[in-house]
Structure 1
Amino acid sequence: MLGGLFPLSTAEQKAKCGSRVRGFAVQGAQSALYLIDKINKDPNILPNLTLGYAILNDCGRGKVALTRTTRLTPVMGCVRTSCSGGLVPRPFYDVAAVIGPHSSANAILVSSLLSAHGVPQVSYTASSDSLSDKTKYDYFSRVVPPDKYQTEAMIELVDFYGWSYISTLHTEGNYGSTAIRNVKKNAKQRGICIAYAKEVTRDSTEEDFDEIVRALRFFGKARAVVLFLNTFHVTRLLAAITRKNAVGEFIWIGSEAFTRGAFTGLEPAALGAFSMEIPSARVPGFEVMDSVKSIALGLHALISDHCPDHNGSRSVLKLCVNGPRLLRYIRNVSFDGYSAKTIALDDNGDLIGGYVIKQVRLADNGEYTHDVIGKWNRLSVGVELELAQIQWHARTISDNSSAIPESVCAKPCAVGEYYIQRELKCCWDCRRCRSNERLNDDTTGCFECDLLTWPDDVNYTTCVRIQPTYMRWDDPIGIGLAVLGSAGVVSMLLVTSLFLKHRNRKVIKGSSRELSSVIIIGLLIAYVTAVAFIYEPNIWSCYLNFFGFNISIAAIFAPLFIKTNRVYRIFAAAERCQVRVKLINTASQIVFAILAVLLQVGISMGTAIFYPPKDRLNTPVVTEKYVELQCDLQLEALLIPLSFNILLLLLCAVFGFLTRQLPDNFNESWYIFISVVTTIFIWIAFLPTYLVAFYAYHKAALLSLALVLNASVTLLCLFVPKLYAVYWIDEKNIKVSNFGDNIEQEMSQNSTVTATNISVISD
């Protein structure tokens, strides 16, 4: 005999059953009776035996279910008869196993009693995870998966879409609280965070549901909401969503209670919602039939193995069939169930099965449907979805560039950003490192790169050396200076060749060829050094630039100073009627010029000893990706040699000014004065600019440009006019005066010399 517990009617107060019939329970009971009758007629199952039954109404109440169960177990005790008042043993149904009850809460109460008496129990709907605890409910089995697998399927669906930030709502009681514990456990294992969790009670009002909607909106990034609500609460939630104009803002992932009946009339609010469902329910009562058949097949296998020759003997069968033995056989059955799935139980008596995944969709004809779009099985990995069939509410994806809605607290940080963790693991803020910082290994902070290095452009996790910058041949400034310097070198070579060719012409002889040669050498050094500044800085080029810069200026202006000084002394002596002026011959002038240049060489060498120029890498601004390869020239190393050159320049200017009004045949002094004054203006502009220049690249360019300008001014003022006179002015019309080797002879022969009668051309 089989026992059955069904909520055939509603319950009334004081644990009494009412008169209102529950249709689904009656259908379940009728399904059990139908299958029992079918088994009794089947010669292949329990042949020569008739399976009996005892169907009891528990009204869906725990106390009633527990009371009814006492009639299915041999409880010791007596009852008083109404006729004689005597005591007789309490009657009970001697059942081999029990199917039901319907709810998990009642199954927990009943299972404790049945387990105590060793009566196997197979439930058709009770899915609470608590019933998997075999230390308490060791005789309990079921043909539905426990809730823990449903929660696992729901979280795998969440994980499939990468939703790492969700909310949960659950009904009070064992069903909801146990399920939500499993949701949190599975979510934690997969790195999914719970933004908001709320328990809904049976007394929750519309205001309570409105507050739930406000809370869900407050955690609006958690668009995916896992629902373990009963059907009544699902309906009230969707109604609140509609009232608050929050339709389409959330993605519902419901349990098996999210049925078509729960959202009838509220379809727009449910559009896009997912729900889990045991793959059956084409006809109510199929699970009941599977429960009956699992017990029947277990009995058949037990009797076939242990008492095949029973011959219908009740006493033999009673000894053969016992609870522990039947339990093992029930959990070992496997058959194609009426619910269109394979019925097979694991060691805990839980169904080895899965769920179909349904979604509320809008059909082409405008009708709302609740269609199967995927499945989940506990023996497989992940969910299987028909992606092409899935629909999303337009409002759910309106702010997302992809076709899949998001439910994340924070998006991954961009390359070069680090994470600032907030309270929840799934939530963080992103901050960008400073330009010269790299990410640490776990991207939770930044480390400053060493000088001369910069974060890599790919992952910003390592520091790489910065390619140094210096003036190059292919830079616009480098090209310009190279052209100017090269043109200057070519010009000086041309001038030198022309001076040699016409060295015996009056205008050339009158310009003191020897001092002019020193000036030409200085100009060549200046132009060559200007070009040398473009080379990649190294120890040799740094020394070359340092000495070339200082010596070239000295070689240009030392002879000019000697020239102007000689002219001034001669005319000053003439005005005093002085016959002999010392040290005005060519040899003396050359010696003085060379000594002045050598003095600059000595000053430069001494400066280089104390402030040696050297090449080095420099980062002017640590937060800029810029490294200079430069000749490190300290300010003292620039100013000390430059002071001597400026002194020469000023002396040239002074004597040039004093001799500016000489007769026409001494007009070279005027050109020298113009050259020197122009050079002074160049240096007035150059020095402040150089001192305030921030980048070494610009400083090198300024030094090079200063040399080019100085040399070019001297070339234009002193040499170009002479070459013009050589080619375009008749030599007979040229009056040239020079103070050469024979000037002292001239002055010794004439005791009175004036500025108007000194006009001697030396050989």
Structure 2
Amino acid sequence: IPQISYASTSIDLSDKGRFEYFSRVVPPDTYQAQAMVDIAKELSWNYVNTIAEAGTYGEKGIEAFKEAAVKSGVCWAKSKIIPRNAEDKDYEDIIHDLLDSTNSAKVGVMFANEDNSRRFIKALVRLNRTQELTLVASDSWGAKIHPVYGQEAAAVGTITILSKRKDIEEFDDYFLNLTLNNNRRNPWFPEFWEATFNCSVHGKGPLKKCTGNESLRSVVGYKQEGLVQFVIDSVFALAHAVHDMLSAHCPNGFERCPYLRRLTGEEFLSYIRNVSFEGIGGDDVMFNANGDGQGRYDIYQYQRTAEGKFAYTRVGEWTDSQPCKFGESRRRSSQCCWMCVPCKDDEYLKNEETCEPCDAQSKPNSNRTGCTRLPVIYIEPGSLWFLLPAAFCTFGMILTTFVLVIFIRYNRTPVIMASGRELCYLLLLGIFLSYTTAFVILIRPSPVLCAIRRLGLGVSLCFIYAALLTKTNRIYRIFNVGIKAMVKRPSYTSPRSQILICSCLVSVQGVGGLTWLGFEKPDTEYRFHQKDFLALECRASQVATLISLFYNMFLIVLCTVYAFKTRKIPQNFNEAKYIAFTMYSTCIVWSAFITIYFGANHDFRIEATSLCMCVGISATVSLFCLFAPKVYIVIFQPHKNVRQATSSSLPSTTGKTTRTYYGGSSGLTYPAQNGSALRQCEEAGSLRAGECTDNRVEVVNAFSDSLEDLSCDEGMEIPEPPPLPPLLPPPPPPEEQEESQDQFG
């Protein structure tokens, strides 16, 4: 439970390992120990004695004094401890030892309570040695009358210190107007009233009954207790902490605030330690990291006045405010007291009391007196961050160009014709643009390059995955049509339709990219990198970049789904397997990219390089998986890149084939279920043989027309069916068949 003290000054209470939740509006005794050292230095007392009472207050106080004295060059001759329950002889022995003829130190620094201080003065009087020792006493003596009462002359010249305080007039007005009738809430007030006016509230006993008309203003010798200011400040500190906490977490009032139910002492302590307000005495109230108040002391000397009276005279004051270090500003709480507050990381010291932030492209210099321009960095062309991705993308561009040359050179060969040339060229365009865009990501950003990067990144990838989606969708629709649909070629499978579908898919990404450019103008920006550099980057958030790639991710998912569905098509048409492997690999690459990109801790080099490599690897996967088998056949197995004159088996959607012999012709294969339907037709005898034959031809020809558009792992075209009986219509001339294959292949 957090606590705020108004009087506890023990040094031990600054130990947060033991007293974590303790705070106080008064300074610890370490401050007054330092004040005593500074007084000794100011008066050139470089050799002193120390006197402490046994216990935490005295011994810890003198220990703190000695630590500060060592740093300031003040030495001590003898150190004496007043024992607990000391007798008069104990005080006299201490004085004899301190004032020994061999001891030249005639100043005694005393940490003792007022009773021990009074008895020490009495011993000096008894020994008649009051003029031989000058005392510097702690705040326990302060400006109290009790230590000097009846022995005022002996105490003349004593220097004491006391926490800086002020009489609060408002408290006097409040307190002196209290009566038994208007202060019933305080259970101890009647007891105080009886002691003050020597009467009985209830009229019992020998004392007269209190009338209630007594007035505190009539009391002679009333003086406000010196701790009143600190009591009020501690209450206000708690109130400010509660107010700040409720303002932050309970804007609608604390009656229905769920935060209060789970509030911990640690959380509430943070609000106490962060309060700062003007106290009742006019000084700022705040806490340091240990929860201690500011060190402010008045310095008194007990003197005889010109009128012959004795009184404590204020001769100075001490504050704990030392000259601030470089990069620290003064936070004043009074004319002579301040706290040193470090400037923020991006601020310099404009003057002693003001920290000023540097602009977005500067940082404070080494001594925080001004700002220096931050060096601008980007991915240098000679660095490994640039060379490795650039070499990878250059190699990819060369391979892409090589594949394109092969396709153009062997454009009319069966393997190239059967691969769906139009979509392949779009794929190669997307792959080449992907490598090019990866280069743009690495080059020093400019508004134009940032626009190209935004638009090119999405469009280049979209060319690849839109073409793949069109391919896989086409394969899926051809191999998954029903029996009745086999009579007719599936719609939108011609080359022209495929290009149109692919173009529409790409246009969606293009329109989205242009819209993004319209809403957020492409430009560069500077971002802090390791606090010492400015990274030059394109102005686009990570989220916006991922949103621009979302459409491509959607296409990737669809491609993967279709590739999975067509994974079991017949062996001669297994380009879908290569597409499936491409999509699985792409999903893995992009999953790894997202992890690296968001885990880069805003390192622009990792972000740019990972994005570049991800785009390049995705393009490379597509290039090798989809084009390497075809290029290999064209270059190293040219005997397979010719039109086959013999017939071969056609696959079925179930992976089985049915060979039919009719009218002396053999070798024609068609789907098993369709063959079964034809056999049922023939066995039922409900149709003439010619009708069954016509039906069979229509089914097989339609299925063959659809399949001849697909590529196969050996680059072979679909064989032409053998001649059928004369009652079937003759097949088209060979030149028309070649033209058809070129159009739909």
**Aligning the two structures, in what range does the TM-score lie when normalised by the shorter sequence?**
0.3 to 0.5
TM-score under structure 2 normalisation? 0.44
Which structure is larger by alpha-carbon Rg, 1 or 2? 1
